[in-house]
Structure 1
Amino acid sequence: MNVRIEIAHDRCRGAGQCALNAPELFDQSDEDGTVVLLDAQPPPEQHNAARLAAALCPNAVISIVEQP
């Protein structure tokens, strides 16, 4: 199964839960603290971290698209 991460930048408020819980996949902008996606198609060993970051995002900015 492949996973693709999508970000709704306009809803991000810079809470940082994504970068704290999945630093291999997410960072925060130095300018405004909003999410920076580091890997839109992570390897399988990062799928659970991507799902966790999406679940913890208070503004539901992160979407996980699972593809067969």
Structure 2
Amino acid sequence: MVLRAIALVLGIVELIAPRRLVDFWMGLATTDDAELRPWVYTAARVEGVFLVLWALKGGCSGGDDDASS
């Protein structure tokens, strides 16, 4: 539940402001001033879409847990 909420928030941020988020994490990961290619920000948006979809999917595991009783 908490993991899905974090994924939802992170996914929304990646969709709205991918450049700020990627630049923040790159600032933590490297000490050099790395120049990122433009497709990195597009990839961050795609990742944001998948995170939001996964978070909104809910607890659907595909199994019949209720039918086993």
TM-score range, shorter chain: under 0.3
Compute the TM-score of the two structures, normalised by the length of structure 2. Answer: 0.23
Compute the TM-score of the two structures, normalised by the length of structure 1. Answer: 0.23
Q: Which has the higher helix share?
A: 2
Q: Which of structures 1 and 2 has the bigger CA Rg?
A: 2
Q: Which has the higher strand share?
A: 1
